[in-house]
């Protein structure tokens, strides 16, 4: 091996080990699902994002197989070249109709969507304002743009208002970027108030609904549940969470779609999604359209049960809006120890540590799933009861 590379790899590895933050991949013996097998243990899985258990739904997997056999294993090129089979446009049209917007554009993943749309739209002379707890893909999207970046405190609309009041006039365009359900904290911004602040200061609103789709309201996410879709400029959704497969989209006006087709580098310079992912997502969309209200309510009820279990350990009941329930522990070592105790009790709930969350807020990120049975939840309650914190 090249000696400077070898030295660099040792440095990188030493840095995470010394900080107690080294991470390794889990080797599951089973497919990921509401219950998983790890080693010789069967565990209730409380750390997936497959909130509606659609990843192993027979209708979704059959649609994926059908799409692979009808269209192919790969799209063969980027969308702009020849990777644009009719099934892709059909899904985009149905997504747009479902959300009540003019258009949608598929991206390879949520990471591609967020690192694509922000630099495509924002550049020199623009201002991007980002919630401090936004997902890494949004942060990277902001960094890739040449816009001035400002970070506002988590959900702090008074600070957002003040930043816009002070700085907006010096920039051609200002864009506010936020998640609607925060991926590691499970809470939501006061979206109606955020929209008002943005409108007052003539700022573009971009919402990442990755953890809200399938979970909030009838499944269409937080903006739709609050009747705000028509006042939001850009909506990002992903298929890797509640939709149970892979891929993402950016939805909004027809002009937005056209601009992204021409300027979003992560769409232009990357192979289009595999047809199986598009087939699976389209089937999942049909299921959510038909059954979304009930499925979403089930997930939120389960999340409430998990929040009650956290409260029963003596902590404040987490502020839970969707499926994500933070069980905040504090130090990295303590979070690992709690995770291990839950594991011993038959529950898979991994510790989330820096850099994914701020230092001192290491936690167990619990996620609810519509696929968990009452028996599963009873097993989870027993594992929690065995924690003496």
Ligand X SMILES: *Cc1c(COP(=O)(O)O)cnc(C)c1O
Report the C-alpha gap between 135 and 181 in whole angstroms. 11
Q: Which of 110, 141, 279, 371 binds ligand X (CB under 6 A)?
A: 110
Encoded tokens for 61: 């997997």
- The residue (of 92 and 208) whose beta carbon lies closer to ligand X is 208
Contact window for ligand X (CB under 6 A) among 62-70, 203-211, 216-224, 339-347 = 203-211
Please name the residue that has the structure tokens 């080990």.
17
Report the C-alpha gap between 344 and 135 in whole angstroms. 31
Backbone φ and ψ of 152, nearest 5°: -105, 150
* Residue 208 binding ligand X, by CB under 6 A: yes
Report the C-alpha gap between 68 and 75 in whole angstroms. 10
372 has catalytic annotation: no
CB of 206 vs ligand X, minimal distance in Å: 12
- Cβ proximity of 366 and 310 under 8 Å: yes
- The residue (of 60 and 379) whose beta carbon lies closer to ligand X is 60
- 247 strand-pairing partners: none
* Residue ranges in 152-181 that form contacts with ligand X under rule CB under 6 A: 179
Q: Which of 135, 201, 282, 372 is catalytic?
A: 135
Picking from 243, 311, 275, 300, the residue whose alpha carbon sits closest to that of residue 98 is: 243
Q: Which of 49, 137, 145, 266 is catalytic?
A: 49
305 has catalytic annotation: no
* Residue 187 binding ligand X, by CB under 6 A: no
Encoded tokens for 166: 């002070």
- From residue 70 to residue 109, the character string flagging contacts with ligand X as x (rule: CB under 6 A) and all else as - is ---------------------------------------x
CA neighbours closer than 13 Å in the CB half-sphere of residue 115:
16
User: In terms of C-beta distances under 8 Å and separation of at least 24 residues, what long-range contacts does 152-155 make, across chains too?
Assistant: 154/182, 154/185, 155/131, 155/187, 155/189, 155/190
179 has catalytic annotation: yes
183 has catalytic annotation: yes
* Residue ranges in 226-255 that form contacts with ligand X under rule CB under 6 A: 238, 240, 248
Q: Which of 135, 201, 353, 365 binds ligand X (CB under 6 A)?
A: 135
241 has catalytic annotation: yes
| Catalytically annotated residues | 49, 135, 179, 183, 208, 211, 241
Query: Which residue ranges make up the site for ligand X (CB under 6 A)?
Result: 109-111, 114, 135, 137, 179, 183, 208, 210-211, 238, 240, 248
């Amino acid at each position: 091996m090249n000696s400077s590379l070898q030295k660099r790899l040792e440095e990188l590895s030493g840095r995470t080990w010394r900080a107690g933050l080294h991470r390794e991949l889990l080797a599951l013996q089973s497919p990921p699902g509401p219950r998983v097998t790890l080693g010789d243990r069967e565990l209730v899985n409380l750390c997936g994002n497959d909130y509606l258990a659609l990843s192993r739904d027979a209708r979704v997997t059959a649609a994926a197989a059908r799409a692979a056999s009808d269209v192919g294993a790969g799209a063969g090129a980027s969308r702009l070249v020849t990777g644009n089979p009719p099934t892709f446009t059909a899904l985009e049209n149905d997504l747009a109709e479902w959300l009540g917007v003019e258009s949608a554009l598929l991206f390879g993943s949520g990471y591609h969507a967020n690192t694509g749309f922000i630099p495509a739209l924002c550049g020199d002379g623009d201002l991007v304002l980002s919630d401090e707890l936004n997902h890494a893909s949004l942060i990277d999207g902001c960094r890739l743009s040449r816009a001035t970046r400002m970070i506002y405190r988590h959900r702090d609309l008074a600070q957002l208002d003040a930043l816009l009041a002070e700085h907006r006039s010096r920039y051609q365009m200002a864009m506010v970027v936020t998640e609607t359900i925060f991926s590691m904290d499970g809470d939501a911004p006061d979206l109606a108030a955020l929209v008002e602040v943005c409108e007052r200061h003539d700022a573009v609103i971009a919402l990442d609904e990755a953890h809200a789709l399938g979970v909030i309201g009838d499944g269409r996410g937080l903006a739709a549940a609050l009747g705000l879709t028509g006042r939001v400029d850009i909506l990002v959704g992903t298929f890797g969470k509640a939709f149970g497969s892979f891929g993402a989209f950016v939805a909004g006006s027809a002009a937005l779609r056209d601009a992204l087709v021409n300027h979003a580098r992560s769409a232009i310079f990357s192979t289009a999604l595999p047809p199986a992912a598009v087939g699976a997502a389209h089937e999942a969309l049909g299921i959510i359209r038909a059954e979304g209200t009930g499925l979403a309510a089930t997930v939120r009820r389960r999340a409430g049960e998990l929040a009650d279990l956290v409260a029963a350990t003596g902590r404040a009941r987490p502020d839970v809006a969707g499926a994500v329930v933070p069980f905040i522990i504090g130090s990295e070592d303590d979070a690992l120890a709690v995770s291990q105790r839950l594991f011993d009790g038959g529950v898979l709930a991994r510790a989330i540590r820096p850099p994914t969350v701020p230092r001192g807020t290491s936690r167990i990120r619990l996620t609810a799933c519509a696929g968990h049975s009452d028996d599963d939840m009873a097993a989870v309650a027993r594992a929690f009861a065995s924690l003496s914190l």
